[in-house]
Chain A
């Protein structure tokens, strides 16, 4: 039982890390109805900027706002040079544009900051919390716990922002109908710049946490792939959905990794390792069959 709990908790905590990446997707999807293929690349860019600034001699507390500045500039530039030209175009055109953007970042970022993998030290040690270890005998990483706390905070703030502020309402309005939003005087340019800026900020947080754990390297761009099943399960349009989806993916993949192989081996024989790698995608596939809009996704409303 204790072992089960330990697996469950560490799964949930790592799920929060997936949620963080998924959150960036949700933000942009909500405000522009576009699946932002470049989100993984943005995570990479953000992490690289932090490391790059630190290599140039900036301390961590300075590198973070600098990286945030880079991400914000990037958001504004994206709006100005990519999105503005594509107002009122079909979503697929915007989607293709984000693919281009992903390649652009993946090429540019290493050119500026160098491409070799580096470590990022946030000053949070990745070791078991002793109090919990002594009391319940469970190994829970301090780093995971802090990361989960940061993610939870970020999500709460963003959810409130979307629901209750003037800008948040405008963001949702723009997501529903660009043209109508334009007609009542909502400046699309500002809104998109804000959204991409916020998505950049989320990418920064995700990039730093992932970078600190796995090292800042090109593979960070693939975190986006792990966010996909999270989005499918949680729903593309829901901030809470991204969190719940992340938790489900994190917990289920760890539990599956531990408990499924013995079952499958006794049933089919042979060797079943590495379930963690594909389990989330199978889960997502099931969700697509049963509940395509995800747990919290908005249903498509059509008047007939």
Chain B
């Protein structure tokens, strides 16, 4: 079928930071999920990883953070490098110590721990004094004031937005350089999503934390990101700077339901166009 005709704007290669080279991921020795994904996250940037359900966004993140092995997944080809060093064989524990941490999809707070205890567990890998721990907590509370007001509540009883904040705050406690953020908007009201993305941008600019952000909410993600990659069926089908992607006609049509003639219901898109996929 038609190849993407979009202007491809390769991510700058000035400084190698997080680099993924052509990785292939197989679950349970049989299910091929990623068929050669390559991407770059430059230092201090927010990179969005976009695509529909089952495109391989979460798998890509888990391949980097090495949470795959617990799910019987394996990186069978390719490599993951962080600051020019291979990290694909590191355990999550070692990776967190090097500054790469994942915030999992669906928040995964520790329900029976209070919000503050949740945050404290985030600092597990750091051997720091009580005073430094307190400072780190205050810093997180500075970005998420709402967590401070509810610090003593068990995380299981807090709202979805608070849990997402708790999950990001918990990751911050590990003092990461790079956060792999998986679908922060899941199940949250648009207003809360906006708030959370705002904080992500803030963290990116003030704390110089780089983000690799997997998101289904394409438009929202591209508004905050610097670069974007679009995954489909385990391959990168498109990449470019955020602005270029959000104005790209194909992206508009397939992910945003917009076309040159304005917003359209998916129902009204002509049959043959509807079935068009970049890879089929």
Contact = CB atoms under 8 A, between A and B. Distances in A.
Contact of A176 (B101, B112, B160): B112
Interface string B157-181: 1001000000100110010000000
Nearest to A182: B92
B121 A186 contact: yes
Contact of A184 (B157, B160, B170): B170
B115 interface: no
B87 to A, nearest CB: 13
A286 B39 CA distance: 60
B111 A182 contact: no
Nearest to B173: A184
B97 interface: yes
A135 interface: no
Contacts of A170: 121, 124
Given A169-B113, A301-B154, A179 B104 contact: yes
B156 interface: yes
A212 to B, nearest CB: 37
Interface in B38-82: 65, 67, 70-71
A250 B154 CA distance: 33
Given A172-B110, A179-B104, A301-B111, A184 B121 contact: yes
A181 B101 CA distance: 11
Interface residues of B, number: 35
Contact of A88 (B71, B92, B112): B71
Interface of A: 87-88, 166, 169-170, 172-173, 175-187, 298, 301-303
A88 B71 CA distance: 7
B110 A176 contact: yes
Interface of B is mostly: helix
Contact of B93 (A172, A187, A301): A187
B67 A182 contact: yes
| Residue of B67, B95, B121, B154 with highest tally of chain A CB at under 10 A | B121
Contacts of A172: 110, 112-113, 117
A184 B112 contact: no
A141 to B, nearest CB: 39
Interface string B106-133: 0011111100011011101100000000
B110 A180 contact: yes
B205 interface: no
B216 interface: no
A205 to B, nearest CB: 27
A185 B120 contact: no
Interface of B: 65, 67, 70-71, 91-93, 95-97, 101-104, 108-113, 117-118, 120-122, 124-125, 154, 156-157, 160, 167, 170-171, 174
Contacts of A179: 67, 70, 104, 108
Contact of B109 (A88, A180, A182): A180
Given A169-B120, A172-B110, A298-B112, A180 B125 contact: no
13 contacts: A172-B110, A172-B117, A173-B110, A173-B121, A176-B110, A180-B167, A183-B103, A183-B104, A184-B124, A184-B170, A186-B125, A301-B156, A303-B160
A173 B116 CA distance: 12
| Residue of A88, A181, A183, A184 with highest tally of chain B CB at under 10 A | A184
Instruction: For the complex of A and B, list the 10 residue pairs with the smallest distance between their C-beta atoms, beginning with the closest.
Output: A185-B96, A301-B156, A180-B108, A176-B110, A185-B125, A187-B93, A173-B121, A88-B70, A173-B110, A185-B93
A166 B67 contact: no
| Residue of A173, A185, A187 with highest tally of chain B CB at under 10 A | A185
A184 B70 contact: no
A231 B160 CA distance: 33
Nearest to A163: B117
Given A87-B70, A301-B112, A185 B160 contact: no
A268 B158 CA distance: 54
A301 B157 contact: yes
A184 B65 contact: no
B158 to A, nearest CB: 9
Contacts of A185: 92-93, 95-97, 101, 124-125, 174
Given A183-B108, A185-B92, 13 more contacts: A172-B112, A176-B111, A177-B109, A177-B110, A180-B110, A181-B110, A182-B70, A182-B92, A183-B92, A184-B125, A185-B95, A187-B93, A302-B156
A173 B113 CA distance: 7
B132 to A, nearest CB: 13
Contacts of A169: 113, 117, 120-121, 124
Contacts of B91: 187
Nearest to A166: B124
Contacts of A177: 108-111
Contacts of A87: 70
Nearest to B104: A183
Given A87-B70, A172-B113, A177-B108, A184 B154 contact: no
Contacts of B93: 185-187
